[in-house]
Every structure is written in C-alpha cells, then in structure tokens.
A and B are shown apart, each in its own frame.
Chain A
C-alpha cells in the first residue's frame, strides 16, 4: 500500500486542486497537510506532527513545498478567532492581513531578514535529516527559489513576499550575494540533495503565464487581478516536468487530471466575474470527469 503525504502552504492546499490533489489519484492513501499561509517553521513542525499520527515508513512518498522566509509562524487556540486555523500565520509579516498585528515596535524588535532566512535554512536542514532517518522517498520544492528571497516571485499586490533585498533584476542565488555568511548552507541543503529538489512551482507557472487565472475585482469594479497561485493546468505542467518520471505516474493518471483541468479552466472562464462564486461552485464538483472520482478534494486541514 502506497501512501502520499504532502506539506506546504496554499501552493499545496488551495481553492482548487493543486499538484498534491492531482497526483494523489495514483496512491492508495493521501494526506494533504498543506495549509494556506504557513511559513517554513510550521511546515517543518507539521511534518513531525504527521509522523506522530501516521508513523512514516520507507514505503511512503513525502513531498514538501516550502513557502517564504518572511512568515512568522505561531499557533494559538484562542487568539484571532477570525483566522480559521490554529496556526495563525496568514502569510508574510508584511501582507495586508498582518499589518495590524505587526507594528513597527514588533518589527524593530523581532524581525531581521537575514535571520528569518537562516531559520528557513535550518528548518530545511533539520527536515532533510528527519526524512533521511525515515528512509522514505522524498522530494522538496518551493514557491520561488528560496535562495532568491522572494525576488523571483510575481508581484502580488499586498502579499508582502518581497522585501529589503528585492532586486528588479533577478539573479540566481541572490541570497548568497547579499547575506554571504549564509552561503555555507548551499552545499548541505541543495548540492548534497540535488536529486530530491524539484523546480520551484512559481518558476514553472511563470513560463505559462497565459494559464494564470484572472478574476474581476469585486471590490474595485472595472479592475481585474491575477491569482498567482498556479492554476490546475500550471500544476499539471509542473507535475509532468518534475514528478511524472520520478514517481512513475501513468499516462492514464495524467490524462485524467488534464481532463479535470480542462473542465476547471472552462468553469473559471465562465465565472471569472467573481472568484468566490467560482470557488463555491468548484467545491460542488459539478461535471467532474468520472476518472477523478476518487480524487480527495477539497480536504479538511490535517493536524492540530
């Protein structure tokens, strides 16, 4: 029996099926531990939590999608009840949602960008060791290349995922040019594990911009916005490029998820006037091809 565990943020668990849901139809059991808004410490911690609950074995496939170093993860059962998950992170410290939370005093005291990148690197290093100790099949990806510190992400107004080290001209391994003392992580995290790293999702999505979902902005009539989360077809292109061979996904699986993606993109075109209506309609799984009947989506958030 083959089990698939996926971890990440909204690039893994979102309003429409992501790469995780799409490849899940090839597995007997699927657990999507992705949670929108999470930072990299929470992602690492949730891998450990999942192990307590499911006892990973060498037969499992575990795929982790890292997010951004600019997120401050914290868990609380009572504060900010309007945030549905107990992990209260909700994206970048600097996004519009978190502006009221992190005032200047907080930022001056607790936030130092090179340290936040170091925390991300340490969490990745710890997680790689943890997965190696299990002996399972594992892969890692990310939104943009973590070493570019958000510089390679498309601008999403208000998302706050680009910061001080933002550079209009994207350079590879931007982080090491700016925070040279962290370059020591390069070999251990990336070079020693080259076979485990997959191309960042956003980098593939950017090569297929025409497939990005665009919606009318209901808050500002006459305006439109792009949702930079990869669309189903962008996810499938990434799956074919990065995972099809590694996971030996069958042509039947790829054909099935493409058929689903065609339907979803067609639905989105008809409902681009309102993203929320599109999402609500989508959740009803109307006109889904029977070949993906067993796809688990939407999923309940896993974990504490």
Chain B
C-alpha cells in the first residue's frame, strides 16, 4: 500500500485542485497537509506532527513544498478568531492581512530578514534529516527558488512576498541570497548540492514558463474592485504541466494518471471561462459535490485540513 503525503502552503492546498490533489489518484492513501498562508517553520513542524500521527515508513512518498521566509508562524486556539485555522500565519508579515498585527514596533524588534531566511534554511535541513532517517521517497519544491529571496516571484504588492533585501535590479540574479547574505552560503551544499536528486523545479518558476494559463479574474472575495487581477497560484493546468515536467519520470506516472490530471485542468478551465467575472462564484462551485462528475471521483479533493 502506497501512501502519499503532501506539505506546503496554498500552492499545495488551494481553492482548486493543486499538484497534490492531481497526483493523489496514483496512491492508495493521500494526506494533504498543505495549509494556506503557512511559513516554513510551520511546514517543518507539520511534517514532524504528521510523522507522529501517521508513523511514516520507507514505503511512503513525501513531497514538501516550501513557501516564503517572510512569514511568522504561530499557533493559537483563540486569538485572531476571524482566521479559520489555528496556525494563524496568513502569509507574509508584510501583506495586507497582517498589517494590523505587525506594527512598526513589532517589526523593528522581532524582524530581521537575514535571520528569517536562516530560520527557513534551518527548518529545511531539519526536515531533510527527518525524511532521510525514515528512508522514504521524498522530494522538495518551493514557490520561487528560496535562494532568490522572493525576487523571482511575480510580485503582487499586497502579498508582501518580496522582502526588504532584494532591489528592483535583483530580479534576474540567480541565488541572490548568497550575494546579499554571504555568511549563509554555508547552507547551500548540505541543503541543495547534497540533495540534488530530491529538489524539484520551483512551482512559480515553472508557472512563469506557462504564463498564458494564469487565471485572471475579478476578485470579489476581497470586495471593492471590479478590475481583473492575476491570481499567481498555479492553475490546475500549470500544476499538471509541473507534474509532467518534474514528477512523471521520477514517480513513473502512467499516461492514464497524466491524462486524468489534464482532464481536471480542462474541467476547471471550462468553468473558469464562464465565471471569471467573479472569483467567489468560480471557486464556490468547485467545492460543491456535483462539480466533478463521477469520472473524477478517484481524485481526493477537496480535503479536510489535516493536523492541529
């Protein structure tokens, strides 16, 4: 029996099926531990939590998608009760949602970007160690290349995912972090070079090769604007293309699996083309039980939020 565990943020568990859901058809059991807005410390902690709950074995497939170093992870049962999860992170410290939580005093006292980047590196390394100790099949990916400090993401000012270190001229500098914070370059060998076979192309980097598939819709979930805006989360088609490029060979995925992934992309694209004037209507329908007909039932989506 083959189990598949996916970890990450909204690039892994989102308003439409992601790479994780599309891949789930290939496995007897699927657990999507992705949670929107998470930072890398929470992602690492949730790998540890899942190991305790599911007792990982060498027969498992585990894929971890890292997010951004600019997120402050915290867990609380009561505070910020308007946030649906108990991991309260909600994306970058500097996004529009978190503006009220992190005032200037907090940022000056607790935020130091090189340190936040170091925390990300330490948690990736801890997670690699845990996965190696299990002996399972494991891979890692990320939104952009973590070493580019957010400079390779399609920037959306509200998302606050571009830190303070990169400047506009740094957009195309590869491995920007080692140039800007050279003392942290000591991590490159053990995290990336020694684990080359385990790293997959960052999802955003890949999506940028297929920009034409990016969804642009009226985001009435946030209210106000009637303007069409890009949603930079990879679309089902971009996810399917990423799977084809990065995982099909590694996981020996069948033609049937890939055909299925693209058929989900077709289905969601059709729906998107009818409802792009309203994100709310577009996404709400996706969650209804009758949206995906019987032929899609082997895909596990939507999934319950896993973990504490």
B130 touches A118 (CB 8 A): no
Known: A53-B186, A77-B112. A44 touches B48 (CB 8 A): no
A52 touches B118 (CB 8 A): no
A282 to chain B, nearest CB (A): 33
B108 to chain A, nearest CB (A): 6
- In angstroms, Cα B123 to Cα A48, docked, is 8
Question: Which one of B73-81, B144-152, B295-303 is at the interface?
Answer: B73-81
B305 to chain A, nearest CB (A): 15
A112 touches B130 (CB 8 A): no
Query: Using a CB-CB cutoff of 8 Å, which residues 82-101 of chain A contact chain B?
Result: 86, 101
B190 touches A51 (CB 8 A): yes
Number of chain A residues whose Cβ lies closer than 8 Å to a Cβ of chain B = 48
Residues of A within 8 A of B77 (CB): 112, 114-115
Identify which of A76, A79, A132, A187 contacts B133 (C-beta below 8 A): A132
A6 to chain B, nearest CB (A): 18
Most buried by B among A80, A121, A125, A187: A125
Closest residue of chain A to B126 (Cβ to Cβ) is A126
Q: How large is the interface on B (under 10, 10 to 19, 20 to 34, 35 or more residues)?
A: 35 or more
Known: A48-B126, A129-B133, A133-B133. A115 touches B74 (CB 8 A): yes
- In angstroms, Cα B186 to Cα A132, docked, is 22
- In angstroms, Cα B117 to Cα A75, docked, is 11
B76 touches A109 (CB 8 A): yes
B131 to chain A, nearest CB (A): 7
- In angstroms, Cα B53 to Cα A74, docked, is 29
Query: Using a CB-CB cutoff of 8 Å, which residues 38-57 of chain A contact chain B?
Result: 41, 44-45, 48-49, 51-53, 55
A129 touches B131 (CB 8 A): yes
A125 touches B75 (CB 8 A): no
- In angstroms, Cα B132 to Cα A48, docked, is 15
Identify which of B86, B112, B122, B130 contacts A125 (C-beta below 8 A): B130
A127 touches B51 (CB 8 A): no
Interface readout for B215-238 with A: 1 if CB under 8 Å, 0 if not?
Answer: 000000000000000000000000
A45 touches B53 (CB 8 A): no
- In angstroms, Cα B78 to Cα A89, docked, is 24
Most buried by A among B51, B110, B114: B110
Identify which of B44, B49, B55, B112 contacts A78 (C-beta below 8 A): B112
- In angstroms, Cα B77 to Cα A106, docked, is 15
- In angstroms, Cα B108 to Cα A106, docked, is 14
Does residue A1 face the partner (Cβ distance < 8 Å to B)?
A: no
Interface readout for A111-140 with B: 1 if CB under 8 Å, 0 if not?
Answer: 110110011011101111111111000000
- In angstroms, Cα B126 to Cα A115, docked, is 20
A115 touches B75 (CB 8 A): yes
B78 touches A133 (CB 8 A): no
- In angstroms, Cα B133 to Cα A126, docked, is 10
Does residue B173 face the partner (Cβ distance < 8 Å to A)?
A: no
User: What are 13 inter-chain pairs, A to B, with CB distance below 8 A?
Assistant: A41-B41, A45-B126, A52-B186, A76-B109, A77-B112, A79-B112, A108-B79, A110-B79, A115-B74, A125-B48, A127-B126, A133-B128, A133-B132
Other than the given A112-B75, A125-B51, A133-B130, 8 more pairs (CB < 8 A) read A45-B119, A79-B112, A112-B79, A114-B77, A126-B48, A126-B123, A126-B126, A129-B133
User: Which residues from chain A sit less than 8 Å from chain B, CB to CB?
Assistant: 41, 44-45, 48-49, 51-53, 55, 74-80, 86, 101, 106, 108-112, 114-115, 118-119, 121-123, 125-134, 181, 184-185, 187-189, 304
